[in-house]
Structure 1
Amino acid sequence: MQVNATILAHEAVEPESDELHRFIFSISDELNTQPVRNVVSLRTARVLASELVPDTAFGRMILTIVQSDPADYDHLVGKAFRHA
């Protein structure tokens, strides 16, 4: 089964804080007609990245968020990750 994780949007809750960033994303697969949308904060992504193995679409997406420079967060919007 192919799973896709896509970053849909990035928002800085408080622009002066490096920690308060949120990423809206969707997860989809061929079994579900509607993608599931959710939000992850940068803080939560950092915790997840320390626990996840990046061998899934979601894991790779989280790792990419954590490893990206804050100046590049808006460039992550539209980035898709796939796992077959």
Structure 2
Amino acid sequence: MQVLATILAHEAVEPESGELLRFIFSISDELNTQPVRNVVSLHTARVLASELIPDSAVAQMVVTIVRTDPADYDSLVGKAFRHA
């Protein structure tokens, strides 16, 4: 089954939330007609990236987020990650 994870946007979060930034993304596959939208905070992405092997669409996306310079986050919007 082919899975596609796509970064839709990133946004700053209120300081009192404890998060710095979050990324909105969608996940889709052949079985679901509508992509599922989700959110991952930068903090969570950093934790996951230190533990994951980038062998799935979501893991590839998380590792890419963490490796990207904050000044280049806009370049991630629309980026898609595939896993078959």
Q: TM-score, normalised by structure 2?
A: 0.91
Runs of 4+ in 1 over 4 A off after TM superposition: none
1:67 maps onto 2:67 in alignment: yes
Q: Which residue of 1 aligns with 2:38?
A: 38
For 2:44 and 2:31, the matched residues in 1 are separated by 27
1:48-67 map, 5 Å? 48-67=48-67
**Structure 2 unaligned residues grouped into runs of 5+:** none
Over the matched positions of the two proteins, sequence identity in percent amounts to 84
Q: How many residues were matched structurally?
A: 81
Task: Tell me the amino acid that sits aligned with residue 2 of structure 1.
Answer: Q
Q: CA deviation at 1:13?
A: 2.0
Q: Deviations over 1:10-63 (max 9, x none)?
A: 112259xxx611100001000111111100000000011111110100000000
Tell me the amino acid that sits aligned with residue 28 of structure 2. S
| Gap runs ≥5 in structure 1 | none
Q: What are the residue-to-residue correspondences of 1:70-81 with 2, within 5 Å? A: 70-81=70-81
Q: Alpha carbon RMSD of aligned pairs, Å?
A: 1.4
CA distance in 1, matches of 2:50, 2:34: 29
Question: In the alignment, which residue of structure 2 is the partner of 1:22?
Answer: 22
